[in-house]
Amino acid sequence: MLIRRPKSWELKENQTTPHGLYLNRRQLVAGLGLASGSIASCAMAESKTAIAGRKLEFSSSKYKVDAPQTPYPMVTSYNNFYEFGTDKSDPAKHAHSLITDPWTVTVEGHANKTGTFALEDIIRTSEQEERIYRLRCVEAWSMVIPWVGVPLRKILAQFEPTSKAKYVQFVTKFERSQMRGTRWPVLDWPYVEGLRMDEAMNDLSFMATGLYGHALPNQNGAPLRLVVPWKYGFKSIKSIVKIRFVSKQPKTSWKKSAPREYGFYSNVNPNVDHPRWSQSSERVIGGGGFSSLFSRRNTEDFNGYGTEVASLYSDMDLKRNY
Ligand code: MTE
């Protein structure tokens, strides 16, 4: 993905080493313990604010994956968050500098209710649910993550978007003093992403506030990040401070940076290769148990969510609209 710097998530997979390789067995066991504990207890609220690591209040949902969850230490140490550096291990090392409380989200554009809102005023903790989704990165690796959050459609509906809102754009916080990676022009900061309104209102689109039952660690996009499980991971924009309802297809960071390689739609598609690598299969991070650090699986159309979303694209050529 990286264009101007050599260390990239576009490196061929045999050139990259998952950070997970360095995790030892004790860390893995600890992570798995946290996973089962948090699910079993189904969360007593300790705080209404999204301070990283706090236990969250949530109910369970119908969204599950028939595969093991990626161990917590891997979900939180093998990350892409270029505002903190381009190495997979950089976000876990450096994202603690991001101040996430208090946090506001500014809503602009074609909606009846716009303005700047405190995070607690737009996320109703009583509506939080857990959804276990597959995450498929365009770099051809994948994870299975138990997110906590609120369906995006519920968050957007409260702003009453008008009929002129055809798309929604999201913007990540951009504060150079807190985000050391933004000293380099790896991308045109701030990171921006977007969805068509019907994609945003699909029940699968999710705004995460936590994972594994606890508020998001900064490296995973605290305090508020998008999760769009049928699209490549770069659509799942982190640490959101702005939501804009717009009439035209908005700019998105990776499309701006390399339009031939990263499209607006970015639906997971095993039949449309990235210009520099195949998308037909993926490395399942942490999927090899203790004997190996990843396993391999065939990539599925829409990352396995075709039943829910294929109809959104019935009249589109998905090879052209990659
Ligand atoms: N959001 C911002 N603001 N900056 C980023 O660099 N990387 C994206 C996405 N969201 C990114 C971002 C990419 S490429 C992926 S694969 C996912 O975040 C990774 O999410 P994770 O680190 O929680 O696994």
Q: What rounded mean pLDDT belongs to the chain?
A: 87
Question: Looking at ligand 1, which atom is closest to the CA of residue 220?
Answer: 23
Expressed in angstroms, the distance from the first to the final Cα of the chain is: 15
Q: Report, as an integer, the average pLDDT of 46-54.
A: 60
The sign of the dihedral angle between the CA atoms of 197, 280, 79, 67 is positive
pLDDT in tens, 25-46: 333 333 333 333 332 232 333 3
Rounded Cα distance between 15 and 247, Å, is 41
Checking if the pLDDT of 242 tops 60, the result is yes
Q: Report, as an integer, the average pLDDT of 10-37.
A: 34
Q: Report, as an integer, the average pLDDT of 58-63.
A: 96
pLDDT in tens, 175-225: 999 999 999 999 999 999 999 999 999 999 999 999 999 999 999 999 999
pLDDT in tens, 75-126: 999 999 999 999 999 999 999 999 999 999 999 999 999 999 999 999 998 9
Checking if the pLDDT of 9 tops 60, the result is no
Domains of the chain: 13-312 (3.90.420.10)
Q: How many residues does the chain have?
A: 322
Q: Cα–Cα distances in Å, from 188 out to 3, 60, 73, 257, 293?
A: 11, 38, 30, 8, 34
- Cβ partners under 8 Å of residue 29, min gap 6: none
The answer, yes or no, to whether any atom of ligand 1 lies below 6 A from the CB of 133, is: no
d(CA 311, ligand 1 centre) in Å: 26
The answer, yes or no, to whether any atom of ligand 1 lies below 6 A from the CB of 189, is: no
* Nearest CA-CA partner of 232 in 117, 97, 136: 136
Q: Which of the listed residues 74, 77, 80, 143 should we mutate to test ligand 1's pocket, taking the one with most ligand atoms within 8 A of CB?
A: 80
Q: Report, as an integer, the average pLDDT of 293-313.
A: 96
Checking if the pLDDT of 21 tops 80, the result is no
- Cβ atoms of residues 78 and 87 within 8 Å: no
Residue 41 CA, chain-centre distance (Å), reads 25
Q: By three-state DSSP, how is residue 73 classified?
A: helix
* Nearest CA-CA partner of 210 in 36, 75, 67, 37: 75
Instruction: Name the phi and psi angles at 194, rounded to 5.
Output: -165, 160
Q: Over pLDDT 90: what percentage of the chain? A: 80
> If you search the block for the tokens 């989200």, which residue do you land on?
105
